[in-house]
Amino acid sequence: MLFCLFFSLLLLFASISCQVQNDRGEKKKSPGQSETVQEQEKDNDHEDMEKDQKSTGQEEEGAPEEKPGTMPPELLVHKPNELGEIMILMYHEIGYPESEWRRTPENFRRDLEILYEQGYRSISLTDLVRGNINIPAGTSPVVLTFDDGNKGNFYYQEKNSELEIAPDCAVAIMKSFYKEKPDFGLAATFFIYFPNPFRESQYIEEKLNYLAAKGFEIGNHTYGHANLSHLGSAEIQRELAQHVQATRKYVPGYEVNSLALPYGSYPRENFELLRQGSYEGITYRHEAVLLVGSNPSLSPFHKKFNSSRLPRIRASELKTDGVGLYDWLEYFGQNPHKRYISDGDPRYITVPESLKDLLNEEVLGEKEARFYAN
Ligand SMILES: [Zn+2]
């Protein structure tokens, strides 16, 4: 049955090959399209044929019934669910000894290995909130975040009278893991505060520029690690704007676009000032505001996704109250239908039919929704 359908599609494909070539020519020219997408297109001939057939099917007698937004059957094995939940992991210090707020380098490395083995791939926080999730079919996104800019996140050491990034700090561990498993991705947000992020005052400029150049993100954690629930509106704006100003002093033009709330505390009123505001001519705008929290985030395509209150999961094994990283890994292992699973094609948002009503079509932009019976 499947073979017959495929064969008739092939015939159709041959008869309209000129049109197909035109369509494809245009597709490849579209601006900003990454190599990965093009590669995926190559692997997706079946789907292209369906689309091409869609555009000309009306003229063809007896052409199979069109089904807009149908998922290629070979994807079914992955059970893609782009409305599933996504873990945003919260780390603090990397170092010794292991504690509630400190992960050893060995344990951090193990976290990455286990995440990788279980099909997680790292994406940036910005890509999460913008819905730019471009990972292979069957894998799940995960976002790594580090609060406080402790030394163990990023420090230098001397080796043979040369300066190098210490191999046990978070940045070096992520880099070396990425070298081993490039498909894991290299992305994390460092929520730092001032005046001495990463605790080596002589290297602040070098480190912040290094992070920005490597595609890591620098996030707002207020200028001085302030408890925002104690502050009035002018002070809130001062704390947030001064962070942006200090970051730009070291990395000119850098756009700080996310905020992690120190202590997870937020003001009862003026919540909107966490998103955007200004102080003495310095403005800030955060696309994401992160809580401490204990749950995975909703998908950015979910109707209830709220980028102003994103929960995070503690990447720890001590005092996690049953809601730490390993608890959630176990949960998603037992409840795979709850987890965001990519369809491998950023042009589409693929969702099981039963969740259709939860899709926020307003954020799809150029993307097309497709559904499958589950
Ligand atoms: Zn903090």
Q: Are 339 and 121 in contact (CB under 8 A)?
A: no
Backbone angles phi, psi at 284, to 5 degrees: -140, 155
Domain-embedded: residue 8: no
pLDDT of residue 279 exceeding 90 = yes
261-275 pLDDT per residue, tens: 999 999 989 899 999
Cα 156 to ligand 1 centroid, rounded to whole Å? 22
pLDDT of residue 119 exceeding 80 = yes
When pLDDT is cut at 50, 70 and 90, the band that residue 38 belongs to is very low
Length of the chain: 374
Q: Regarding predicted confidence, which is higher, 366 or 13?
A: 366
Reduced to 3 states, what is the DSSP secondary structure of residue 158?
strand
Largest CA distance in the chain: 77
Cα 283 to ligand 1 centroid, rounded to whole Å? 22
Token digits of residue 43: 């692997």
Q: Are 313 and 295 in contact (CB under 8 A)?
A: yes
Cα 292 to ligand 1 centroid, rounded to whole Å? 10
pLDDT of residue 345 exceeding 60 = yes
Q: Tally Cβ neighbours within 10 Å of residue 41.
A: 17
Domain-embedded: residue 334: yes
**Res 293: pLDDT:** 74
- When the pLDDT of each residue in the chain is averaged and rounded to a whole number, the result is 86
Q: Are 150 and 192 in contact (CB under 8 A)?
A: no
Q: What percent of the chain shows pLDDT beyond 90?
A: 76
Neighbours of ion ligand 1 (CB under 5 A): 147-148, 262
Instruction: Report which of 263, 331, 335, 333 is spatially closest to residue 293, judged by C-alpha positions.
Output: 263
Rounded Cα–Cα distance for residues 187 and 127 (Å): 10
Cα 147 to ligand 1 centroid, rounded to whole Å? 5
* CATH number of the domain enclosing 120: 3.20.20.370
When pLDDT is cut at 50, 70 and 90, the band that residue 12 belongs to is very low
Q: The domain containing residue 205 runs over which residues?
A: 87-338
pLDDT of residue 41 exceeding 70 = no
**Res 67: pLDDT:** 58
29 exposed, middle or buried (CB, 10 Å; 0-12, 13-18, 19+)?
Answer: exposed
Domain-embedded: residue 374: no
Rounded Cα–Cα distance for residues 129 and 305 (Å): 9
Q: Are 223 and 259 in contact (CB under 8 A)?
A: no
pTM (2 d.p.) = 0.82
Cα 327 to ligand 1 centroid, rounded to whole Å? 23
**Res 57: pLDDT:** 36
Cα 190 to ligand 1 centroid, rounded to whole Å? 11
Domain-embedded: residue 302: yes
When pLDDT is cut at 50, 70 and 90, the band that residue 74 belongs to is confident
Beta-strand relationship, 162-165 and 156-159? antiparallel
Query: Quick check: bond before 80 cis, omega within 30?
Result: no
Reduced to 3 states, what is the DSSP secondary structure of residue 110?
helix
**Res 54: pLDDT:** 38
Beta-strand relationship, 120-122 and 140-147? parallel
Token digits of residue 372: 């499958």
**Domains held by the chain: number:** 1
Partners of 339 in the β-ladder: 85
Domain-embedded: residue 287: yes
Rounded Cα–Cα distance for residues 345 and 139 (Å): 12
Hey, what amino acid is at 253? G
List Cα–Cα distances, 24 to 8, 19, 20, 27, 155, in angstroms. 20, 9, 6, 5, 48
Cα 148 to ligand 1 centroid, rounded to whole Å? 5
44-66 pLDDT per residue, tens: 333 333 333 333 334 344 444 44
**Res 212: pLDDT:** 98
Cα 350 to ligand 1 centroid, rounded to whole Å? 36
Token digits of residue 301: 């395509």
Token digits of residue 239: 């704390």
Domain-embedded: residue 35: no
